[in-house]
Structure 1
């Protein structure tokens, strides 16, 4: 686990959102005083839960929000996000990376987030329990915290050892258990008070409830006796009613049998009458039918004559309609041919219009593409112009750098020349001598050139002349060699007058080489500017050509649009003509259809009339046959009617006798029903009387009515006895059982609650004691380890001596303060308050690293704790950092160069703008072997054992 990044916005001097990336190892935070380095440490403390404004060097929490400068407005929110790598799951959260965010508004509202989810401060604190991280942990060590550790009371130093021992959570849980215990004690007292009051009501209501239950038993007995008396009386009436109902049913059955006989006779009479009436009706119908047939025959003969005339007329109409249909058919065919020609013309115009529209769309697309290309070119021109401006700015900056290098060359040359004692007079003398010799050599060389030309003409000379020339050339050559040797000696002397540092200037790392590099950079920038300007000219020329092309496209578009309008006008005219033709065709088709329909109708009428003539002939023959048949049926009906009338007289006599018998049965039934009504009244009175007395329906107990076997007198005696006992009970609280049940339920509940609370109280006492015991064991074990580590770390840092930790009250390790004693080499063992500032800082560093040896914090901020150390002690401090940097991540705020040399990465903090902090990160790509060595004084020290301390009942294993 290590600190990956810190993102700050609006916190103190961080006006802009600033993200600081950290890496494992050691990072040095550099910057001048007042630029905001310590604000980074304050941001770390604040985001992990610091609630004290004074600890953040502020009067109130609102003061940590950026308050503006002369050029910037104040912000209304401060926000810090801390991102921690958790790939090894050191923190109790299932995530490879954990982001903790805290946000504060000027309104005072504060928010905490864990991986983007809102949480409470308590959850943040619990996350960092026993890790060394937190508002009171040792992950942030400032100069003020060092002073606090060394100068505060012994009890106030405990937090460092408690965090290392990992008992912070035990203390919190112990305090929570103590608070719960106090609350439980209070609850026990409250429940005991309430239970006393409830018990008094419980005992009183218990007596009343028993009396009420006895009353209810007697009352139920009274009710049961009265119920049985009512049921017995009701049973007598019910049984009498059943007997009368049976008698009435028998009379009703006899009456119904007579009624059935009467109904059968009536039905037979009705059927016979219906038959007679039907025969008489049929006789009348036959008479009417015969008369109707005579009338119908006369009508049919008349209709036959009319149909014959209609057939002749229909034939004439059919011939005329066929002639008109032929003319209409010829006219329709002519109109259809003309319509086909117009449709072809419309299709041709539409095709031409479609082609013109395609051309228009193509030209519009070309114009759009050209416009887009012009806009792209304009954008590229704008980018090129911005590039030119940027390059010109770079050129100006390079020129400024060149001027600065030139000034540096002048100053450096002047200083070096003064240092080397360089003499311009000697250099000028050497230069003049060299110039003279060079002129002499040039003169000799010129003479040698002439001599060579003479030697080239040797064939024209005699042998003696040639030998003389050769000898002269030899002598001149010897003289030239001597002059050259003299010139070489003079050059060596001249070189000695040239300062040696010139070579340094001309070396690859020299200032002249730097100047040449800047000159080349300026030349490259000029070439790039020229290229961009050429590109701008090319793009503008392309835009001009594109604009001309767009104008040409637009002229062509206007022509195409004019042609489209003309074609559309012609097409519209053709379509209108086609529409008129289609309407006329429709009219002709309608006329033709009407004529065809007329022919069809006339032909149908002809066929119908012909068919009707045939039917009429057949119907007239049928009428004659039917008339003869009806006359025979009428004679038979008259004979049957006379027989039926004789039978009807006999059945009417039987009906009169049955009616007399029915009257006698009906009188008997009415008498029985009157008796039943009287019985129903008695039954109803019994039920009403019971309902008025008990507000209940007597028929609820209908089943019991037939189960009662107790005599009436015995029931009356029992009723009298129970009423006397009720009178002896006196007044009774009828609600006592219910009230007692409620009170008893509450009494039992409170008794259970009291038992639960007493058990919880004992459990909390046990848990608190277990937590204290475990915390004491952890604390004492960690304290003894830190004590030994502190002694050995003190000897290492001081090169000897003695550092000692002591418990002020060993018998109470959880409350005891811790004294720190130090004995630098050559001094007496004394309290740390008597040490020098450097010795105090070194002692605090020894204690910090002694703690890290027991429980290292994943990361640690050290704020100028090396400020009071001398060079030798800084070297020891840096070497310790490098050792512990393998297991923890350190971010060191320092002004010491040796501490900076030991870092893996540098973070520069500046204030380019007044009141606004900026951070610049530099990663040093080197291993430990590439880091400058920081030798320590060679002191051969071995770890020494120290005397362990133990509590009254707690002693770690192996303690002496």
Structure 2
């Protein structure tokens, strides 16, 4: 695998589409400072996924897009495509060539492609895992990065060793497993919270369900006991009814016999006994009525006692149902209050969720507004930059015009002065003469001031009448004034002559320069325009700085908004879960409330039926008592009539005593039999009534027909007394249960199903957490083993390579925390020949560079990167160290592809291909490729046959003696591999087998 070519368009200084073709071995990238050499390295890092704008030497990532020059417009897109040869299959794709492409627009939108297929940045990074290639791997070594590797903290040096150890993939997997573990634990906490709520409902409903099932069981037992008791009673009454029917049949036959006898005796007395017979018939009828009344009275009294018992039972049932009704009413009130309270909690939580969603919407709108404002600011920045360019162009035009007009002013001034014959010495002489003459004139006139004052004083005296001036005095004054005026006129003529001479010596063309339409005015106008352009540029630059500062503040606010949004979304999820749990709890309360209301309805129905039956029983008792009173009154009347009739019969039958005695005896027998028949009839009616009452009462009590269970009569073996005791105990147990939620078993079944589902989920999450912890532990253990193995190899190779590059000395790697190798930093200690072992921060610049080179190639001996970019890492090396560096490059050049950016001639002579970077047009980078055919580009003399290439072993040198530089350990390099080296051929150390290094 190696770099095949690099296509760049719109990236930094690459305004035109540019292709850079790479060759095997060593390629030198040459060019003057500022031509864009490092932009090639930046392009490779950028296409491999670099996200830090500072690493691209830019303030923001959009700055990597070509921003234009004086003659070129800015571009709106930057694109870099890297083609990699993959015939060896080192990258996990079954293709011979892989093209990685990245594209960035000024809008901030970024795209990634692998073989023209859109992908995510993560896929590109995963493609190069553990290959030594990447934006932060050791395949890219820059001059500043060397100092970073050597001068950074020990913890920050680990990436070289981790990449070489091939544990980057494991670190990512471990981080992903830890994220999943944290998410799983969060899910477990949520499920555990919900499970706790469901568990409480589960426990409560389980108790209620058990109580309800016990209630149902007791109800069923009571029903069975009552059924058996009623069936036994029914069986008894049916048995009595059957016996009474048999007895009735026998007694009827006996009565018929007696009647036959009486009819035979009475036949002879028919004629004389019509009245007697009539009276006897009346007597018999009275007797029948009396007996019937007695039987009916007994039946009514028994019925009254039965009704009294039923009334007592019904009253007890009514009192029990009233107690249950009161208890259920209290329970319903409590559940109603709980339901309303829970509904309030649900409403509060839903309102909180609504408020959070409103806040989320507000923050999202704020983010969008801030982003829109950033876009507007960017547009303002671009507009201001365009205006600045226009103003700079306008200023340049004005400056050119000003330069031209300045030259015109100088030329016109020289020509005017020559034409006017202007002489500075003559002008100064004329000015001095004029000044002197004016001074004399001023002195002359000042001296004659006294004459005018004398004349004025004389005039005052004359006006006052004191004394008139004399003629001689007036003449003297007049002559003095005349002489003064004459001298003044002469000096005035001289001043005029001198002024004329001064005027001629002063150039007149100056007025043309200073005129409003003159050349000086034009210059002032240009100066004003240039000043205005400068002020406009300054103002717009200030506006750009303000807009950019505003964008930075807006980006900070957007980050704050997004962080707040994340917290709000987490809060919304938490509140939603709480609202759902509260709503579920409200539903459970409502279900229990519905069950209690149903139970209340059942109790009220039973209470209504009981009260109705109680009233009916009272009515029946009243009717029975009224009938008993009527029967007693009727019986008293019939008894009185019977006694009277018997006396009459006895009186009238005195004459037929014999036959009447016989008839009386038989009649007495008939009466006894008839009474027995009436009693049997009454008992039979009572049995039928009891049977009917039993069936009716059972139907009213249980809403079922007792005859459905008729076959059960023959299977009952328990005595009735024992059944009544069991029934009483069951009723007491039922009463002790108190109020019961009749819907509890069904609700418990639903809650149990949900509880078992959540429990299974909790078990699955627990298993997933344990699996993730085991995976994380396994990954860390494997990573630790790989890291330690690689670290030990690099440590040994680093010491050997250091001794080779420095011609002796000692280098050492140390783990800061050997007990935690996956987090431990790595200290580097170096001891150049003749010095003490010290930390690398105390080394010189050249020693640091050579130490970094030793570390880089020590890493390559363990796991070489397919290609490597070296950006001026030889800048701090002297000539001898450069020779050693190039020799190492040539040795490793057959296993890795090196692209070296350098200014050193020695390094260039070791390259097989040259890439020239230039700027034919200002600000535009171009690349020229040159393939060198000369294979004799040795930069160092061939090694001596007896001089080994590497050290033999890692031991401390004895005092005053250095270790030999060689490699005789067969575990490192075989004899067959040493022969060409000893023969003088420049070859590389094998890197395919990592274990051999």
TM-score (norm 1): 0.46
TM-score (norm 2): 0.44
